[in-house]
Structure 1
Amino acid sequence: MARERNEQFEALLKEAGWSRAQAASAFIRVASENNLTDYTHIARQHVQHWVAGHEPSGQAPIIMCEALSRRLRRVVTTSEAGFTASNSPAQGALDWRIDPLIALNDLGSTDLDPDRRSLLRGGVYSAAALALPAESWWVEMAKEPPSAERKDTQRVGRGDVESVREMTLAFSRMDQQRGGGHGRTALVEYLRSDVARYLVGQFPDGVVRRDMYSAAAEGAYLSGWMAFDNGEHDIAQPYFALGLKLAARAGDAPLSGHILRAMAHQTLDLGLYNKALELSTASIAGHRYEAATPRERALLGVVHARCLAATGANRLAAKTLVRAEDDLRSAHDGIKEPSRTFFFGEASLAHETACTLRDLDDRKGAINQFGRSVRTRGVAFKRTHAVTLGYLGATQISVGNVEEACTTWSRVLDAMEEGVYSGRARQRVVEMRQLLSPYRRRGIPAAVELETRAADYLRTVD
């Protein structure tokens, strides 16, 4: 029986102004960006087969739709493209029209189900979904929803809010110590069960309701951050979006800024510099910055400085760094800071400042700041310590200090071997091997020894 031509897909290609070969090239870019190496062989013939009615297999429909979404500057779903593959469950969280409670239920249940989790991981990081909603959306989300008194719902009070905040802080401390690959599933279980029930409970007043939504938003944000740290970008993105929806429903502008800052950080790491700058600019807009505490303003500011440096706005980046330092300097014990900023102090500011200076090609300044971060960071932040050391070693070797870099990188492996489960830290070990390769071939003893140790470590975690 003859196949029916996929006229919907063909119309989208025409709207994009793409030939079959151009569509294949765009597909490969998205696949490569998401480390989906099994899909980097796609050619014009594959696209032509899809137009002719053959169904793309595996994750190919989602990859193709992401490529089209970027080109057309709107979200293109698999059904719109005429593919029978179901959309990723992450799309509910990424769609600003979907209620956050529905998104939490769908995202959490899929993430926790071993048989369905592959659907979530079958997505890709969506640059098209980074477009933020209009100002009217934020205003509408912050409105008090109509009350729905039900006898079977539990009463939720101030103590329940504090319980959620304390639990989230405990997971956050564990993340700083062990990395995002340790304990995230337990956090998702807590969000999907206890926190989801609180959100549909009976509140004594609007203040407690908003505070509970804010506490839930921090938990969703943290789940996204842990996934990001573990290199699971396709999972991190919908949790960040879910956290942003919950924060908007709470009317919590500073928390919204904090989550936008994290989204900018992730986008920056993925090399989407202009998108990162858009997100970081949004993170410091209006009350998101003005209503934030000094420590949080410093965190927002330093990530914005990194995004400015990455996009070539060097003078403004330097000015923004100075302001971030001033903000952190104005933080003191008399000011009550949100628990989500407990980790951001002198060491963290130095780390982010070093990254900015490195991107400004001030390698000497970057080395000094990375060193300052290493010296001032406490033992409770083992994951971040390993990442900082990794960056420090890479910067040292870039200026020819090979022996010094080897000593630094040896300390990275010391930290990793003590039980750090972090994709970002692991990537520093991969980068280490790449940068050491020419020196290993020359037979430099320190490089040879470190390469052997790094290879042994990666074999144990792969």
Structure 2
Amino acid sequence: MGRTRNTRLAAVIQELGVSQRQLAARFRAVAAEHGATELQSVAQPYIARWIAGAAVEGRAPSILAETLSRGLGRLVTLADIGLAADTEPEPQPPAWSDDTLTTLVTLGSTDMDIDRRRLLTQSVYSVAALALPEDDFFRQAVHRAQKRKPLSSYTVTAQDVEDVREMAAFFSRRDQKRGGRAGRAALVAYLRTDVTELLSGRFLSEDIRRTMTSAAAELAYLAGWTAFDGREHPLAQRWLTIATGLAEEAGDAPLAGHILRALAHQAVDLGQPQEAVRLAEASLSSRRYTHACWRERSLLGVVHARGLAAAGDKKAAAAALLRAEQDLGRASDGDDEPNRVFFYTEASLAHETAAALRDLGDLKGAETQFQRSVRTRRAQFVRTHSVTLGYLGAVQAQQGHLDSACETWGQALDAMTGVQSGRARESILQMRRALSPFRNRAGSQAAELDARARSMLSQA
């Protein structure tokens, strides 16, 4: 079969008004900025073949979109030039080297489009994509961002930064209360429109550029975290990857560590303990850990412990748990802490400690820590509270304490009312699996609980 001419790409190049040879030269210059040495041979014949419908592979699509964006002074997405992810037979794994702004726009568009989003969420979580670039790549991110030319004439102000931070705080608190699926579409839409427009603007100072990029990174992290909570793991992985890149472009090492910690948490949950340990160790690298507040240090450390426990390294996990508890003990209400750690309290530490002990086979210790988490958690953290109760019931059932488990699971179902969370739903499924040997005993507590759980799942 013959190739189909890429009319979208041809139209954008025509709008730019340069020859194919000139476009190729501009393309090579942008590729050099990104260290894409494999693209330095791109010349006029490549442009002609791409217009004729030849495949544009590797990093070339994003660099081509960035080249055209700079020339036109506006954002050009992969969809604009006929190279969106949904034109591929299978979504490609996230890439650390893509231009962050173009990737942000493209991912936001994909997330907001029902069909393209479904294609992405049905793809496979990529372990290969968890391989981190050399640290120099991250260290040079600030310099790369400083060289990026504005794509709009809007001048970004400190008030714009504050507005974005307020939105991040709002969506973060909503996630903790109602779960990741509640309001997520509004979060992604805000990122795709308002925030990308601000990142495309002009900055009066380097400080405003950095703080705006940091605020955008936190929102992208929330888009990833809420997808993670919704069990949409390939989508979450992409958002967390772009969020890490934005954090590094902002020079916000603690935020980058926070996001790498989320990637490590995801890897633990998906049965990839070695990858989780490696990502957690990256989050604990000197510049990310030492500049973080005590509360965030504890959070990074306890996820590291989770990875070590899942990998079966009992001694190292115990040491990491002790350090995490000591770090949290050094935090105080008067500390200058970022909003993103407001949720992390004694209850959170106890929850993650319990999960680590559970993975190490210490069910009694896990039960004690889950109970501590339930006892100390603040009322507004409804989603996590319901999940903790679900996990507590599971370890009680594993120890043969069915009556206690049923009582706990009943409390979990009470707490889950109105919560829109994939993790909460998964805990209900685990509950039903544990109850399966007993569900046919008419009139029993287990049978009644199973019927209630089934009803909740049908309504979700």
TM-score normalised by the chain length of structure 2? 0.79
Residue of structure 2 in register with 1:17 after alignment? none
1:352-406 deviation line (CA, Å, top 9, x unaligned): 1111111122211111111111111122111001100000000011111111100
Residue of structure 1 in register with 2:423 after alignment? 424
Residue of structure 1 in register with 2:162 after alignment? 162
Q: What amino acid sits opposite 1:256 in the alignment?
A: A
- Equivalent pair of 2:264/2:276 in contact (CA under 8 Å): yes
Displacement of 1:135 in angstroms is 1.6
Q: C-alpha separation between the residues in 2 aligned to 1:265 and 1:212?
A: 26
Q: C-alpha separation between the residues in 1 aligned to 2:359 and 2:122?
A: 33
- Any residues of structure 2 matched to 1:63-462 within 5 Å, and which? 86=88, 91=93, 94-143=94-143, 145-146=146-147, 148=149, 152-417=152-417, 419-441=418-440, 445-461=444-460
List, as ranges, runs of 4+ consecutive aligned residues in structure 1 with deviation greater than 2 Å: 87-91, 113-123, 146-150, 439-444
- Report the CA distance shift for 1:293/1:234 in structure 2 as closer, same or farther (over 3 A): same
Q: C-alpha separation between the residues in 2 aligned to 1:456 and 1:332?
A: 43
- Equivalent pair of 1:257/1:282 in contact (CA under 8 Å): yes
Displacement of 1:121 in angstroms is 2.8
SS in 2 for 1:420: coil
1:18-68 deviation line (CA, Å, top 9, x unaligned): xxxxxxxxxxxxxxxxxxxxxxxxxxxxxxxxxxxxxxxxxxxxxxxxxxx
SS in 1 for 2:125: coil
- Report the CA distance shift for 1:116/1:438 in structure 2 as closer, same or farther (over 3 A): closer
Displacement of 1:160 in angstroms is 1.1
Q: What amino acid sits opposite 1:405 in the alignment?
A: A
- Equivalent pair of 2:150/2:200 in contact (CA under 8 Å): no
Q: C-alpha separation between the residues in 1 aligned to 2:132 and 2:214?
A: 19
- Report the CA distance shift for 1:106/1:330 in structure 2 as closer, same or farther (over 3 A): same
SS in 2 for 1:235: helix
In structure 1, runs of 5+ residues without a counterpart are: 2-83
Q: C-alpha separation between the residues in 1 aligned to 2:434 and 2:107?
A: 39
Q: C-alpha separation between the residues in 2 aligned to 1:135 and 1:317?
A: 25
Displacement of 1:204 in angstroms is 1.6
- Equivalent pair of 2:441/2:447 in contact (CA under 8 Å): no
Q: What amino acid sits opposite 1:109 in the alignment?
A: S
Q: What amino acid sits opposite 2:147 in the alignment?
A: P
Residue of structure 1 in register with 2:47 after alignment? none
- Report the CA distance shift for 1:316/1:105 in structure 2 as closer, same or farther (over 3 A): same
Displacement of 1:148 in angstroms is 3.5
Q: What amino acid sits opposite 1:356 in the alignment?
A: A
- Report the CA distance shift for 1:213/1:230 in structure 2 as closer, same or farther (over 3 A): same
- Report the CA distance shift for 1:440/1:333 in structure 2 as closer, same or farther (over 3 A): same
1:105-129 deviation line (CA, Å, top 9, x unaligned): 1011121123433343342211110
Q: C-alpha separation between the residues in 1 aligned to 2:127 and 2:150?
A: 40
1:401-448 deviation line (CA, Å, top 9, x unaligned): 11110010001111222x100010001110001111123345671111
- Equivalent pair of 1:89/1:106 in contact (CA under 8 Å): no
Q: C-alpha separation between the residues in 2 aligned to 1:247 and 1:86?
A: 29
Mean Cα displacement is larger for which, 109-118 or 160-169? Answer: 109-118
Q: C-alpha separation between the residues in 2 aligned to 1:153 and 1:87?
A: 38
1:255-289 deviation line (CA, Å, top 9, x unaligned): 11100100011111010111111111111111111
Mean Cα displacement is larger for which, 119-128 or 209-218? Answer: 119-128
Mean Cα displacement is larger for which, 369-378 or 442-451? Answer: 442-451
- Equivalent pair of 1:90/1:238 in contact (CA under 8 Å): no
1:333-370 deviation line (CA, Å, top 9, x unaligned): 22111100000001101101111111122211111111
Q: C-alpha separation between the residues in 2 aligned to 1:409 and 1:148?
A: 55
- Report the CA distance shift for 1:145/1:322 in structure 2 as closer, same or farther (over 3 A): same
- Equivalent pair of 1:89/1:110 in contact (CA under 8 Å): no
Displacement of 1:455 in angstroms is 1.1
- Any residues of structure 2 matched to 1:11-30 within 5 Å, and which? none
Q: C-alpha separation between the residues in 2 aligned to 1:257 and 1:148?
A: 27
Taking only aligned residues, the RMSD between alpha carbons, in angstroms, comes to 1.8
- Report the CA distance shift for 1:320/1:450 in structure 2 as closer, same or farther (over 3 A): same
TM-score normalised by the chain length of structure 1? 0.78
Q: C-alpha separation between the residues in 1 aligned to 2:108 and 2:119?
A: 12
Q: C-alpha separation between the residues in 1 aligned to 2:166 and 2:392?
A: 33
- Report the CA distance shift for 1:444/1:276 in structure 2 as closer, same or farther (over 3 A): farther
- Report the CA distance shift for 1:312/1:121 in structure 2 as closer, same or farther (over 3 A): closer
Residue of structure 1 in register with 2:82 after alignment? none
- Report the CA distance shift for 1:147/1:409 in structure 2 as closer, same or farther (over 3 A): closer
Aligned residues: 375
Mean Cα displacement is larger for which, 116-125 or 279-288? Answer: 116-125
Q: C-alpha separation between the residues in 2 aligned to 1:97 and 1:157?
A: 28
Q: What amino acid sits opposite 1:129 in the alignment?
A: A
- Equivalent pair of 1:88/1:122 in contact (CA under 8 Å): no
Q: What amino acid sits opposite 2:225 in the alignment?
A: W
Q: C-alpha separation between the residues in 1 aligned to 2:305 and 2:230?
A: 24
